[in-house]
Structure 1
Amino acid sequence: MTEIPPLYDKKCQCLHCKKAFTTKKVRSRYVKVLEYDTDFFPTYSSEETNPILYYVNVCPHCGFSFTNEFAPSFPPGIKEVIEEKICKQWVPHDFGNKRTIQEAINTYKLAVYCATLKREKHIYLAGLYMRLVWLYRTLKNIEQENRFIKLAREEYMESYMDDDFKGTQVSDVRILYLIGDLSRRMSDLDQAVKYFSKVIEKQNQTIETKIVEMAKERWFEIRDAKKAKEPIQE
């Protein structure tokens, strides 16, 4: 009996040029999460079956890069901008095969550029930046991880202020928690405490009790760390 491989070809249609192409995806049966970090970074059982590597679709024809969350429509005049800034600069490259972490990082940076030009929601840009944080953490590249932590926090804050996460799968509680955890990772502890407190205040209004518990854990960790640094009173 032939074993079914972890990766399969998914047919896609480019949102911009409308041409068809295929890209690799991971079969769900092979996706096994071993643990999650405090910012929901999943550690998978193997790099080969890490679906984060295949999250972005890159059109090999025109270079437009997108995820399934991108809106199918384009604001007026934006297709012309994309044609000029992306398609005319595109050196044909096919990201439709098995990807390394570095190749995946390249696809995310392309998607960030496309999402910015296309004026996608802040919540979707934040998600792209978050996954770049995770990929750089996997590579133990602290400098780049910290760079994208800052960018992810900015986009989550913009999303929360604009309410553009409404109607997506991301709740206000999750956004507030992530702003808190990213702030903690940036050593912006006052901001971290502020946003963890906002999560805790919503504990009677949300079904996401696990996130509330995580916010409490982080809040106590910060409090205890601050206490440990306080000078001893004589």
Structure 2
Amino acid sequence: MENIEPLYDKKLQCPICSANFTSKKVRSKFIKVNTYDTDFCPVYEEGSINGLLYNVFVCPDCGYSYSEDFSKYFPPPTKENIQEKIQSHWTPHNFSQERTIPAALQTYKLAAYVASLKKEKHIVIAGLHLRTAWLYRMINKIEKEQRFMKMAIEEYSQSYSNEDYKGTQVSDVRILYLLGELSRRTNQYDEAIKYFSMVIERRKRSIETKLIEMALERYHEMKESKKQDKCN
């Protein structure tokens, strides 16, 4: 019987330099999640493959870094900007093998930089920053985790204001919940209560009942905590 490996090589062609390359992807049956943190960060079973490590593709020839969430469209003159800012300074580097968390962090930061040059949607950049924060959480780098959560808040806020999440799998309720939870985790409690309240206000017209329940739980926890602080 054939022994199936957890990782396989996905064949890709770089949209910038047209080089053919491969990048590791994880077969879904090998990703085993025990639970999720309240901001949806996966907590993997011991010995499970960390699926977060392989979300970003990096062209080894020119450094163009992207995920499956990137659009195929390049607004003018973004291709030229990427070639000038990244390709012309790139030292060939191969991220196509098994990755460690430090290597994956490099790929997310590269992808976020590319996304800003490419003028990707705020919702895409927010997702990159959030996953970067999760990886820092996994190695207990608290200050860096906080920094990237704050960067994610900024991008999610822009996405919500500009409604550039429309047409993606992310709903307004999910964005508002994440804005509340990330604000809570970065000690911006008034902002957190504001966003959780906005989620709760949508309970009669939203089908995302789990998110509403989670927002209610966080909201009541924070209100209770505020009461106790006042008593003390």
Q: What interval of TM-score do these two structures reach, taking the shorter chain for normalisation?
A: over 0.9
Give runs of aligned pairs for residues 78-157 of structure 1, distance below 5 A. 78-157=78-157
1:2 — aligned with what? Answer: 2
| 2:38 paired with 1:44 | no
Q: 1:39-84: per-residue Cα shift (whole Å, max 9, x none)? A: 0001112465111100000001110000011111111111111111
Give the drift of 1:158: 0.2
Alpha-carbon separation, structure 1, partners of 2:204 and 2:150: 30
1:171 — aligned with what? Answer: 171
2:220 — aligned with what? Answer: 220
2:206 — aligned with what? Answer: 206
Unaligned segments of structure 1, at least 5 residues: none
Letter in 2 for 1:216: L
Aligned-residue Cα RMSD (Å) equals 1.0
Alpha-carbon separation, structure 1, partners of 2:183 and 2:159: 16
Letter in 1 for 2:161: M
On the 8 A contact 2:137/2:145 being kept in 1, the answer is yes
Alpha-carbon separation, structure 2, partners of 1:28 and 1:38: 22
Give the drift of 1:207: 1.2
Give the drift of 1:2: 3.4
Structure 1, 6-15 or 174-183: larger mean CA deviation: 6-15
Q: 1:215 to 1:165 in 2, by over 3 A?
A: same
Give the drift of 1:7: 0.5
Q: 1:100-128: per-residue Cα shift (whole Å, max 9, x none)? A: 00000000000001000000000000000
Q: 1:159-192: per-residue Cα shift (whole Å, max 9, x none)? A: 0000000000000000000000011111111110
Q: In percent, how many aligned pairs have the same letter? A: 55
Alpha-carbon separation, structure 1, partners of 2:2 and 2:167: 42
1:57 — aligned with what? Answer: 57
Q: 1:125-150: per-residue Cα shift (whole Å, max 9, x none)? A: 00000000100000100010010011
2:30 — aligned with what? Answer: 30
2:77 — aligned with what? Answer: 77
Give the drift of 1:213: 0.2
Letter in 1 for 2:91: V
Alpha-carbon separation, structure 2, partners of 1:158 and 1:127: 13
Give the drift of 1:204: 1.4
Give the drift of 1:18: 2.1
TM-score, with structure 2 as normaliser: 0.98
Alpha-carbon separation, structure 1, partners of 2:81 and 2:127: 23
On the 8 A contact 2:11/2:20 being kept in 1, the answer is yes
1:182 — aligned with what? Answer: 182
On the 8 A contact 2:30/2:48 being kept in 1, the answer is no
Alpha-carbon separation, structure 2, partners of 1:58 and 1:122: 20
TM-score, with structure 1 as normaliser: 0.97
Q: 1:69 to 1:2 in 2, by over 3 A?
A: same
Structure 1, 204-213 or 162-171: larger mean CA deviation: 204-213
